[in-house]
Amino acid sequence: MKPTVAVIGSGMAGVEAASSLIRHAGDDVNIVMVSDTGILALRPFFIYPPYSKLFRNPARTHLDLRKAAGRRGIELQQWQADEIDPISRVIRGNGHSLPYDYAIVATGAGMRPAEVPGLAENAYTIWGFEDSLKLAHAVEQMIVRAKRGERQRIVFNIAKYNKCGGPMYEMVFMTETHLRKQHVRDLFDIAFTTAEPAYIAAFGAKLHEATEREFADRGITARHSVDLKEVQPNLAIFADGSEEPFDWMIGFPPYIASTTFAGLPVDDRGFIQADMSTWAVDGTERLFAIGDGANFPVKQAFLALGMAGTVARNIADDVAGKSPDDRFTPLSMCIMEQFDSGLYAQVPLVWDGDGSSPVAVDSVRASDYTVRDNRLWQVGKMGMYMTMVAQMGTFHTFHEGAIWSAMEKMIKGMEMVTPSPV
Ligand SMILES: Cc1cc2nc3c(=O)[nH]c(=O)nc-3n(C[C@H](O)[C@H](O)[C@H](O)COP(=O)(O)OP(=O)(O)OC[C@H]3O[C@@H](n4cnc5c(N)ncnc54)[C@H](O)[C@@H]3O)c2cc1C
């Protein structure tokens, strides 16, 4: 009897984990993926619809996994899991029940805009594809009004307890470039506000400095360390008493877990508590949590892919009777799209694992901390998109294997030929 590995969730973490299991455990395991959609949504590319009609077609960012799963020997079951019994090793939900030998929970995160009164009612938010389409309509309205000569003010905000600020920085820079390309930039005041203690605080001083410089160059007024308390029609109010009037507000709300599994150890936002080197769920056996749904404080696809590989390789070793010795070392990589350039960062991270201090740049691996700014990186982001579609849409690993090695070499080459902005 082959052991069954259940993967719950068909996001970037779940798909990479299943692909890595195929790579390392091959025919030695049955892989069953439980997903409430059967679709891989490439969230990092949800930033594009407001500025690119090409990306308003959902087929470009939503990959139907059903055929690919069948071809790669993965049983894809479409239902919503709501209970995991780690003692009897069963996953349940919607009348379904799936016994497992190993399980990987990759159910991702969700948004809770209601934590800030008025945010959902008075601002556009980013997270899902529908949110991006609504924002696309708003951006079109901004341009129409500007072409009538109306002066407008846009306020961007990252709320407290948001755990992935990067996309909001992309949105503000892309908006600024888009308005310039539409020849209406001079009719807009743009303000950026964030609850973070510095710009992209988790990614360290270099990225803060590069971002601060970018705000100044683009004439964007920016403030960090400001906690959004309430949003009224056309007015954002902050805990320190300051206010930002707006015609348009675009907010990134607080994060919560998408699913809270009763009986599993979770933090105060529902994220599953797991060992940050193996992603084994605390107090359980053969149960792992990865991606946005796990309790690592920074939610990022690139980190999710790393967690997925570690867990899959360790399960493959365990099944083969070898000692699982793969350990996750958080190394973030991001390309901040600006529409006229790209800000690239590779950031080695360190975290105490219990939340008593925030994530920080790992000083031991300081030589890995790299920031670059150049149009080439914008092209690189599109290259990553195409590779993700080709690899992940067919259950082949993105973050390991020959194609990833080639991409790593290319990234190193690009690091050498592009300048550091700080
Ligand atoms: C606008 C935006 C831009 C971003 N840009 C970047 C970027 O440039 N770089 C980067 O590294 N990261 C980026 N991120 C973050 C990145 O998208 C996430 O970190 C990543 O998608 C997390 O993957 P995941 O698989 O953990 O979760 P998700 O992608 O959310 O997937 C969760 C999966 O679980 C399924 N599911 C949920 N609950 C259940 C259940 N109970 N039962 C069954 N199935 C369930 C869902 O349908 C989904 O398939 C961005 C995020 C946003 C919102």
CA pair distance 18, 162, nearest whole angstrom: 28
302 and 222: one domain? no
d(CA 25, CA 17): 11
Q: Tell me, what CATH number does 92's domain have?
A: 3.50.50.100
CATH number, position 212:
3.50.50.60
The count of domains in the chain is 2
Confidence of residue 337 (pLDDT cuts 50, 70, 90): very high
User: For residue 422, what pLDDT band results from cuts at 50, 70 and 90?
Assistant: confident
Half-sphere exposure of 138 (CA within 13 A, CB side): 19
Residues 6+ apart with CB under 8 A from 345: 203, 206, 207, 332, 333, 334, 336, 370, 371, 372
Residue 352 has pLDDT above 90, yes or no: no
Q: Report the share of the chain in percent with pLDDT over 70.
A: 100
Token digits of residue 162: 């948001």
pLDDT for the residue numbered 357: 80
Domain that holds residue 40: 4-108+258-417
Whether residue 245 is found in the same domain as residue 347:
no
Q: Which amino acid is at 138?
A: A
* Whether residue 131 sits in one domain with residue 92: no
Asked whether residue 67 falls in the same domain as residue 133, the answer is no
Compute the distance between CA of residue 344 and CA of residue 391 in angstroms, rounded to an integer: 22
- Quickly state the pLDDT bin for 356 (edges 50, 70, 90): confident
Q: What is the DSSP string of 243-302?
A: EEE-SEEEEE--EEES---BTS-B-TTSPBPB-TTT-BBTT-SSEEE-GGGBS-SS--HH
Predicted local confidence at residue 353, as pLDDT? 81
Q: Which of 234-245 are b and which e, b meaning 16 or more Cβ less than 10 Å from the residue's Cβ? A: eebbbeeeeebe
**For a pocket test of ligand 1, which of 300, 307, 311, 333 has the largest count of ligand atoms closer than 8 A to its C-beta?**
300
Verify that 31 and 174 share a domain, yes or no: no
Over residues 353-359, mean pLDDT: 80
* Residue whose entry in the numeric block shows the structure tokens 């779940």: 14
- Does 301 contact ligand 1 (Cβ within 6 A)? yes
Average pLDDT, the chain: 97
Is residue 37 within 8 A of residue 64, CB to CB? The reply is: no
Mark whether 357 and 404 lie in a shared domain: yes
Establish if 362 belongs to a structural domain.
Answer: yes
The pLDDT, as a whole number, for residue 326 is: 98
Q: How many angstroms does the Cα of residue 127 sit away from the middle of ligand 1?
A: 9
Asked whether residue 422 is domain-assigned, the answer is no
Are both 59 and 120 inside the same structural domain?
no
User: What end-to-end distance do the CA atoms of the chain give, in Å?
Assistant: 57
CA 303 to ligand 1 center in whole angstroms: 11
Say whether both 123 and 226 belong to one domain. Answer: yes
Same domain for 25 and 95, yes or no, is: yes
Mean pLDDT (whole number) for 80-108: 97
pLDDT higher than 80, residue 285: yes
pLDDT at 358: 86
Does the CB atom of residue 108 touch ligand 1 within 6 A?
yes
Q: Tell whether the model's pLDDT for residue 84 goes beyond 90.
A: yes
Structure confidence at residue 229 (pLDDT): 98
What does the pLDDT read at residue 44? 97
Residue 207 has pLDDT above 90, yes or no: yes
